[in-house]
Amino acid sequence: MGEPARDPARVPRPAEGLAAVAHRAQELLPPESVIADHTRLRTYECDGLAHYRVTPGLVVLPDDAHQVAEIVRACAAHQIPYVARGSGTGLSGGALPHADGVLIVTSRMRTIREVRRADQRAVVEPGVVNLDVTKAATPDGYYYAPDPSSQLICSIGGNLAENAGGAHCLKYGFTTNHVLAAEFVTPQGEVVELGTDAPDAPGYDLLGAVIGSEGTLGIVTSATVRLTRLPEEVRTVLVGFESTDQAGAATSAIIAAGIVPAAIEMMDALAIAAAEEAVHCNYPEGAGAVLVIELDGAAIEVEQEYAEVERLCRENGSFEQRLATDPVERALIWKGRKSAFAAVGRISPDYIVQDGVIPRTALPEVLREMTRLSEESGVRVANVFHAGDGNLHPLVLFDDSVEGAGEAAEKVSGAILDLCIEHGGSITGEHGVGVDKSKYMTRMYDDDDLDTMQMVRCAFDPANISNPGKVFPTPRLCGEVPGRHKDTHPLQEAGLAEVF
Amino acid sequence: MRSTLERTARDAVSAACEDVVPGGEDDLVDGVAPGLVARPASTEQVSALLRTAAEHGLTVTPRGRATKLSWGLRPRSVDLVVDVSAMDRVLDHQAGDLIVETQAGARLSDVQRVVAEGRQRLAVDETMIGATIGGTVATNASGPRRLAAGTARDLLIGITVVRADGVVAKAGGRVVKNVAGYDLGKLVVGSFGTLGVVVEAIFRLHPLAEVQRWVSMPVSTAAEAAEAVHAVVHSQAVPAAVEVEWSAPGDGAVQVLLEGRADAGDGRAATVAELLGAASVTSEEAPTGWAAYPWEQGETALKLTCVLSGLSDVLEVARDAEVRVRGSGGAGVLYGALGSDAVTTTAAVTRLREVCGRHGGTVVVLDGPAEVKRDLGPEGVWGPVPALDLMRRVKDQFDPDHRLSPGRFVGGM
């Protein structure tokens, strides 16, 4: 599964090409960093989306940009596909390997090269774990804002590839808003600098195109990220409601009041039950929904906002509000939320984590339709989502040992994405398209839109070797560009001559 | 200099759009007289115009209200101006979703007026009066509020462009959080009309602040200015903007904007005043020159960037080179103005480029007299640009014949 048919005319003998790349890798890297043994290769057969599995042809673990570039160059010379992988926590199969390709694992490139408080910057290698950037900056009063739930293990390289968000992106934005520059290896094996330490580098924002491109445009080998000042005050409040409708109405009221909380997260009864079972987070008993609301900023501002949030929740039917009074209590509130996905394993042997986005105001309607879907099909759905920005993470529960249950769950999961699209939303808010959702791309974008995106692909990777088969349902053949420089003399373009 | 079009091409352009006139004196694009000016009323007409231009090999420059039309290098040729100012509708404001959808020709001020009815705003400053959404996107123009809110690059969530071949393409969408497909908006923002014609854009919005306070501190040396900026940006005051006014000898200021809830405004201003020192002054009114570029008509306009630790050095060199500076010191993005003497300009740009480059930044000559731009050439105007080859490959894909704003952008693209 997930292995698209390759044109035999373009890649005549993959086995020989792969052997040549392996040979080059062995010249460049120490023996333990080149894996060709089938048993060990199987360790890398999937990422966080484990139902897609492909054993890679070769795994390499380079130490630096030069080695990455040399391996990519060897791949390019032999038309061998490659896939970059960080910690392998992705949830859309974006790092699913190629059977006759190379998996380039960046986990050995994990040096935090610089933390410059004065400039609010850190320079980090792609294998650095997200949370470690924050840990390195905290002594200086700073942190790295994007915080995907997997931040304890996910890598910065993967974060860039997926444009990772997190619970706090409602207020602070996504990875793309926090990366200034990157060292980047093109699919031709060139090492180039994208962006600058300072904002607004002149020229096309190639970095903006690369971030979120799911490894299809090349490999980032170092990133210069923005560090954010730790807030003076943080208030995290856990609010219990009888229903998701009430919790949704409270969320709307908060947004309408002109408050942008650092986070507003919602969990429904089933998700609460799972979290309770797993981490004993002691959420309000009998709640049909909880909101985790976090406010941060200048202390007096937060105080004003909190008073209003407290009132708005009460007016919309909250029966319990529990304000974290210290970092331990705050951590416990977040633990329930951030462990929710894994916790669902306690109440169901198997589950699908869905990731869709709807305009926030469509929330009540979409939730009702999801309930109907669940009731009609008999498939249970637990709901965890970023209520502030409409990013839903329904967890579709099933038991794979029951015949047909997997298919029924898939059907419900797909129907939920249909709902997102029908309401003008997106098929993915943060997990990416990968192999899992490429078939849905045509539902969001028409042929012209997809063709235009492929122009970017053709500019970066005309040979289609960098993570091929991901994101797009059908790749475009990048032919020769017609009519280049029809009217312009190269000297004129270079600014050496003018024709006025 | 006027572009002369063959009759068949002129007829074809007129068939694609009802409102087509010959380019006049008011239509100069940085001194270049366009052959024709078309004023399409719809995306379909823009598409038809671009398709016609492709068939006849016509060069095209998109235009909004022309407030920044002369930014960048002078285009090599302008057969056709596609003026989107008639496409000026704010299409949809969803206050509950904090988004606005607008046509490219809408004025930024009109968008603000519409979204203000829902007590919201698009967090982009109107640095040029009358600026349109399309031009703001094409140049990624920004003002003081970029410190906290970012620029159009950060706020744009969906875009529709008409490609050089007339194909209408969209990317992103109507939700803030969306990672499906390539983020084409990022490529288009700041591309100076060289990749396509922007026809629609969707932005995320912010709530309007209930209260604003400006705390200003006079400074007389570059070191003092930098010290004041550092004191605020490294504090926990969460300023909306930290500006440096450095446009006259001995008469500088650091200006901090605080925005938020009514009852917190005075308290937060007091905190910042304490950080800045006893000489600071708090006001409910914006200081003179706020959110305006420092240059006068006909002067050379520079954009200077640096990391925070380089601010003092950059201001020092700017003063020494008699470049008047104003801008977001807190974000490391400044604007400089200097007179029209080309020799002085070249020397000043060289010196500033050295100091900004040493501090992780760049210098771009946004605008200036024809002879200044000519003498500087593409590399002198845009500075050295890493990854230029990759940028050329992007351009070749989107505009293989190099007909869109040809020569205006980096590397003479």
Mutate to test the interface with B, among A227, A440, A452, A457 (most CBs of B within 10 A): A452
Confidence class for position A339, pLDDT limits 50, 70, 90:
confident
CB neighbourhood size of A394 (10 A):
28
Q: Which residues in A lie closer than 8 A to residue B161 (C-beta atoms)?
A: 452
Mutate to test the interface with B, among A200, A448, A453 (most CBs of B within 10 A): A200
If you search the block for the tokens 């040992």, which residue do you land on? A401
List the single residue in A119, A361, A390 with the smallest CB-CB distance to B308.
Answer: A119
Contact B371/A at CB under 8 A: no
Question: A370: which 2 tokens?
Answer: 């999801």
pLDDT digits 0-9 by tens, B204-257: 999 999 999 999 999 999 999 999 999 999 999 999 999 999 987 778 999 999
CATH for the stretch A112-229:
3.30.465.10
Q: Given an 8 Å threshold on Cβ–Cβ distance, is A453 in contact with B182?
A: yes
Instruction: Write down the pLDDT at residue A342.
Output: 80
Say how far apart CA A126 and CA A85 lie, in whole Å. Answer: 10
Closest CA to A454 of A160, A216, A218: A216
Q: How many CA atoms lie within 13 A of A417 on its CB side?
A: 24
Instruction: Write down the pLDDT at residue A279.
Output: 87
List the single residue in A204, A304, A485 with the smallest CB-CB distance to B261.
Answer: A304
Name the minimum distance, in Å, from the CA of B43 to any CA of chain A.
15
Per-residue pLDDT for chain B (413 aa), expressed as one digit of tens each? Answer: 456 788 999 999 999 999 999 999 999 999 999 999 999 999 999 999 999 999 999 999 999 999 999 999 999 999 999 999 999 999 999 999 999 999 999 999 999 999 999 999 999 999 999 999 999 999 999 999 999 999 999 999 999 999 999 999 999 999 999 999 999 999 999 999 999 999 999 999 999 999 999 999 999 999 999 999 999 999 999 999 999 999 877 789 999 999 999 999 999 999 999 999 999 999 999 999 999 999 999 999 999 999 999 999 999 999 999 999 999 999 999 999 998 776 789 999 999 999 999 999 999 999 999 999 999 999 999 999 999 999 999 999 999 999 999 999 999 99
Q: Given an 8 Å threshold on Cβ–Cβ distance, is A212 in contact with B183?
A: yes
In chain A, % of residues over pLDDT 90? 84
Contact B55/A at CB under 8 A: no
Instruction: Write down the pLDDT at residue B342.
Output: 67
Q: Given an 8 Å threshold on Cβ–Cβ distance, is A456 in contact with B306?
A: no
Q: Which residues in A lie closer than 8 A to residue B183 (C-beta atoms)?
A: 163, 176, 208-209, 211-213
Mutate to test the interface with A, among B176, B227, B230, B309 (most CBs of A within 10 A): B176
Q: Which residues in A lie closer than 8 A to residue B357 (C-beta atoms)?
A: none
In one-letter notation, the amino acid at residue B19 is D
Name the minimum distance, in Å, from the CA of B210 to any CA of chain A.
9
Instruction: Write down the pLDDT at residue A149.
Output: 87
What's the average model confidence in pLDDT over A81-91?
95
Contact B167/A at CB under 8 A: yes
Say how far apart CA B240 and CA B263 lie, in whole Å. Answer: 17
Instruction: Write down the pLDDT at residue A15.
Output: 86
Residues whose CB falls within 8 Å of the CB of residue A108, separated by 6 or more in sequence, listed in order: A33, A61, A62, A63, A127
CATH topology (fold) of A8-105: 3.30.43
Contact B409/A at CB under 8 A: yes
Contact B357/A at CB under 8 A: no
Q: Which residues in A lie closer than 8 A to residue B73 (C-beta atoms)?
A: 495
Question: A434: which 2 tokens?
Answer: 């990968």
Instruction: Write down the pLDDT at residue B69.
Output: 97
Q: Which residue of A has its CA nearest to B99?
A: A359
Q: Which residue of A has its CA nearest to B365?
A: A202
ipTM at complex level: 0.97
Domain-wise residue ranges, chain A: 8-105, 112-229, 232-345, 348-436, 439-493
Hey, what long-range contacts does B370-373 have (CB within 8 A, 24 or more apart)? B370/B30, B370/B31, B370/B74, B371/B342, B372/B300, B372/B340, B372/B342, B372/B345, B372/B346, B373/B30, B373/B73, B373/B74
List the single residue in B175, B178, B397 with the smallest CB-CB distance to A455.
Answer: B397
Cross-strand pairs, A121: A116, A226
Say how far apart CA B401 and CA A236 lie, in whole Å. Answer: 56
- Count of pairs with CB atoms under 8 A, one residue in A, one in B: 319
Q: Which residues in B lie closer than 8 A to residue A306 (C-beta atoms)?
A: none
Say how far apart CA B245 and CA B207 lie, in whole Å. Answer: 27
Q: Which residue of B has its CA nearest to A443?
A: B180
Q: Which residues in A lie closer than 8 A to residue B187 (C-beta atoms)?
A: 204-206, 208-209, 456
3-state class (DSSP) for residue A384 = strand
Name the minimum distance, in Å, from the CA of A37 to any CA of chain B.
35
Q: Which residue of A has its CA nearest to B358?
A: A197
In chain A, % of residues over pLDDT 70? 93
User: C-alpha angle with apex A399: A397 to A400, nearest 5 degrees?
Assistant: 120
- Phi/psi of residue B353, each to 5°? -65, -35
Q: Which residues in A lie closer than 8 A to residue B207 (C-beta atoms)?
A: 258-260
Chain centroid to Cα A399, Å, comes to: 27
Q: Which residues in B lie closer than 8 A to residue A260 (C-beta atoms)?
A: 206-207
Chain B (321-340) residues lying within 8 Å, Cβ to Cβ, of chain A: 331-333
Instruction: Write down the pLDDT at residue B243.
Output: 98
Mutate to test the interface with B, among A91, A117, A142, A204 (most CBs of B within 10 A): A204
CATH of A348-436, one of 1.20.1280.50, 3.30.70.2740, 3.40.50.2300, 2.10.109.10: 3.30.70.2740
**Do A232-345 and A348-436 have matching folds?**
yes
Q: Are B257 and B285 in contact (CB under 8 A)?
A: no
Q: What is the mean pLDDT of chain A?
A: 92
Contact B211/A at CB under 8 A: no
Q: Are A130 and A145 in contact (CB under 8 A)?
A: no
pLDDT digits 0-9 by tens, B109-146: 999 999 999 999 999 999 999 999 999 999 999 999 99
DSSP code string of A301-331: HHHHHHHHHHHHHHHTT-SEEEE--SHHHHH
pTM score, whole prediction:
0.95
Q: Are A71 and A60 in contact (CB under 8 A)?
A: yes
**Does the structure show a pLDDT above 60 at A245?**
yes
- What Rg do the C-alpha atoms of chain B give, in angstroms? 22
Name the minimum distance, in Å, from the CA of A453 to any CA of chain B.
6
Q: Given an 8 Å threshold on Cβ–Cβ distance, is B234 in contact with A390?
A: no
Q: Given an 8 Å threshold on Cβ–Cβ distance, is A173 in contact with B99?
A: no
A303: left (phi over 0), alpha (psi -120 to 50) or beta: alpha
Domain A232-345: give its CATH architecture: 2-Layer Sandwich (3.30)
DSSP code string of A91-151: SSSTT---TTSEEEE-TT---EEEEEGGGTEEEE-TTSBHHHHHHHHGGGTEE-----TTT
What's the average model confidence in pLDDT over A300-323?
97
If you search the block for the tokens 């329904």, which residue do you land on? A394
**Does the structure show a pLDDT above 80 at A433?**
yes
Q: Which residues in A lie closer than 8 A to residue B99 (C-beta atoms)?
A: 359
Q: Which residues in B lie closer than 8 A to residue A482 (C-beta atoms)?
A: 400
Q: Which residue of A has its CA nearest to B181?
A: A471
- Phi/psi of residue A443, each to 5°? -80, -25
**Does the structure show a pLDDT above 80 at A487?**
no
* b/e per residue A46-83 (b: at least 16 CB within 10 A): bbbbeebbbbbbbbbbbbbbebbbbbbbbbbebbbbbb
List the single residue in A165, A305, A488 with the smallest CB-CB distance to B261.
Answer: A305
